[in-house]
Amino acid sequence: MELDVPTLLMMLVLTPVLIALAMVTVAWGERHEGLQFWAAGLGINALAYVFFGLRNDISPPISILLGNGLTSLALSYLLAAVLRFQRRALHWPMLLLPPLLLSFALLGLLDNFPLRVVVANLVLAGQTAAILQALYVRRSSTAGRGVALVMAGTALQLLVLLLRAGSGITGALLPQSFLQPGLLQNLTFLSTFAASLITSLGFVFMTKERADEANRRLAALDELTGVANRRSIIAALDRDVGRAIRTRESMAVMMVDIDHFKAVNDTHGHLAGDQVLRCVVDVIQHRIRAQDIVGRYGGEEFLVVLTDTSAQGAQQLAEQLRAAVEATHCTYTGASISVTVSVGVFGGRLEPGDSWDQLIHAADLALYRAKQGGRNRVELAQSLGRVTREGVTSSSPETYPPPLA
């Protein structure tokens, strides 16, 4: 099947331009995630095909030098877009070196068509491989499937460039064949068109997936301390309670409250209080396991969920945390601020019908006793407060804490 070369060239010019305009519109005024560089690369590549298409209407050397030079420059901008997305440093002299070297090399090879084809396609293949390598080494840190699309489109383009370089070596590509229909030219144009669509859509998906991931993190994390917020820590506790009931494994929770935190704010200021919160969180995070989770339950109170942990194990850990916080000096603008914590602990095996709020209530009762006992201490909950057959909880009514002043 013979395809109309002018039509293919028109597609290779108009499609990238339209995609680039859409990208610029989307990225206008937003955080620079590389979309602007990608759009610039598409626009430059479209301009390159304009010069390729004018091969019979302008001076051939101009068409050759500008067409290949701009194609190489476009790849440099696409690599810059990937590096910017990955928040890596951009070294523009290195990025702009391939287009300059290619232009000078082709200037000396204008009369040697086979070698010119080999050199041009190998340089372009090297730049394409650099894009693929940059994506591959950071693929695990890029959320979503957009990166897979970009890698697939880039690999397709790399394969065609290597095929064209091989055709220059074997003599399968003739000087007059660029604007004439043929298997290799059709393959080149169609693969370039497909690669442009696939990689561009993939890059847009990459930026969207990153934004979605950032929104999910903002919705799940406490902005000040970086740990789980109240909603997500309760969701994690609810999930772990269900699993503990199914597996008949022990689990524990700790309610950790900073003692006299209001006095810290009144004496040192609220920014110092924020630093104290972060300091205490850091102490907790360095002493719990990877499978455990800490979240800010409210104010200066933190909830720690410990999977597969007995009451005794949780109590020992709570005592270690209490001692560690007491020994830690939080610094703010040169001032050293010492704080202590009170900890309420519940641990044990759960039964069908137990719920996350019962665990929090039991740990809260223990925390209240720790506060009443003088603070800077750990108290273990005596029971979960399950409902008996008579409809009365196993916790005594007098153990329910009144509001703390």
In a domain, 242, yes or no: yes
- Tell me the pLDDT tens digit for each residue of 211-238: 888 788 778 899 899 999 999 999 999 9
Distance CA 32, CA 207 (A): 10
What is the rounded radius of gyration, in angstroms, for the C-alpha atoms of the chain? Answer: 32
For residue 239, the model assigns a pLDDT of 94
In a domain, 225, yes or no: no
CB pairs under 8 A, 24+ apart, for 334-340?
335/268, 335/272, 337/264, 337/268, 337/272, 337/275, 337/276, 339/258, 339/259, 339/260, 339/261, 339/264, 339/276, 339/280, 340/258, 340/259, 340/375, 340/376
Within 248-341, residue ranges assigned H as helices are 261-268, 270-285, 311-327
State whether 13 and 112 are in the same domain: yes
For the beta carbon of residue 389, count every other beta carbon within 10 angstroms.
Answer: 5
Per the CB < 8 A criterion, the answer to whether 224 and 278 are in contact is yes
Span 366-381, mean pLDDT? 96
State whether 201 and 258 are in the same domain: no
The model carries a pTM of 0.69
| Band of pLDDT at residue 177, cut at 50, 70 and 90 | low
| CATH number, domain containing residue 245 | 3.30.70.270
Burial class (CB in 10 A: 0-12, 13-18, 19+), 175: exposed
State whether 283 and 391 are in the same domain: yes
- Tell me the pLDDT tens digit for each residue of 106-155: 999 998 989 999 999 999 999 999 999 999 998 877 767 899 999 999 99
In a domain, 338, yes or no: yes
The domain total for the chain is 2
Distance CA 402, CA 303 (A): 20
| CATH number, domain containing residue 173 | 1.20.1070
Per the CB < 8 A criterion, the answer to whether 109 and 117 are in contact is no
Query: Which structural domain range is residue 102 located in?
Result: 5-219
In a domain, 224, yes or no: no
State whether 181 and 284 are in the same domain: no
Rounded to an integer, what is the distance from CA 277 to the centroid of its chain? 26
**pLDDT exceeds cutoff 90 at 32:** no
